[in-house]
């Protein structure tokens, strides 16, 4: 127990910044069920925690994220629809420092759906209950890089879903994809 406490204390002494982050994501769908779509601009915001020294560290985030696509034309649809999905997303990443100001990071994420809306009918989905047709939990992967400027971190990342958005029989097979830009303030 004493060793664990000393190790935990050394992490904080080595630098364990916490902070807040906010940004914008350009989201769309990927997969065999996508005929065409346009990127949906969605906000994201939350908190972050970095455990470890600057060279290699664990970076965790808890975020509110809005995903989906505008003008999504999916397999079996007669007309396109705007589809908006809201999640609470947990990112579990390894961060590698590349010099004093630049870092790269990668790792899995788990996202829990909080709301879903569609402007038109989706095959295999009850229009009155779009949220019920969306898989409750999404798994995916994050890859990105960041630039540290004093207390601020400017980062860019690509997130891609590894699980299908819909779990309803007959619904198109699609995954989320996002390119995002974020600004974090670490304390």
Provide the pLDDT confidence category of residue 11 given band limits of 50, 70 and 90.
very low
- Predicted confidence (pLDDT) per residue in 118-140, tens digit: 988 888 888 778 888 899 999 99
The reported pLDDT for the residue numbered 15 is 56
The reported pLDDT for the residue numbered 77 is 82
Specify burial of residue 128 (Cβ count, 10 A radius: 0-12, 13-18, 19+): exposed
CATH architecture entry for 17-186? Beta Barrel (2.40)
- Predicted confidence (pLDDT) per residue in 92-123, tens digit: 999 999 988 999 999 999 999 999 999 888 88
**pLDDT beyond 50 at 6:** no
The reported pLDDT for the residue numbered 26 is 96
Angstrom distance (rounded) from CA 25 to CA 75: 25
Domain ranges of the chain: 17-186
Q: Do 62 and 81 touch, CB atoms closer than 8 A? A: no
């Amino acid at each position: 127990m004493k060793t664990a406490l000393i190790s935990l204390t050394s992490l904080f002494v080595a630098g364990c910044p916490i902070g807040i982050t906010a940004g914008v994501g350009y989201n769309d769908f990927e997969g065999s069920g996508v005929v065409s779509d346009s990127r949906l601009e969605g906000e994201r915001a939350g908190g972050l925690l970095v455990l470890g020294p600057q060279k290699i560290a664990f970076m965790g985030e808890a975020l509110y994220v809005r995903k989906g696509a505008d003008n999504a034309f999916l397999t079996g649809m007669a007309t396109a629809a705007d589809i908006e999905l809201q999640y609470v997303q947990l990112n579990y990443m390894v961060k590698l420092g590349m010099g004093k100001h630049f870092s790269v990071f990668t790792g899995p994420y788990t996202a829990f759906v909080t709301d879903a809306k569609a402007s038109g009918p989706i095959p295999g989905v009850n229009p009155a209950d779009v949220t019920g047709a969306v898989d409750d939990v999404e798994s995916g992967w994050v890859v990105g890089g960041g630039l540290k400027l004093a207390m601020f971190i400017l980062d860019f990342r690509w997130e891609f879903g590894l699980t299908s958005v819909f779990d309803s029989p007959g619904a198109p097979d699609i995954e989320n994809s996002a390119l995002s830009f974020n600004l974090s303030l670490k304390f």
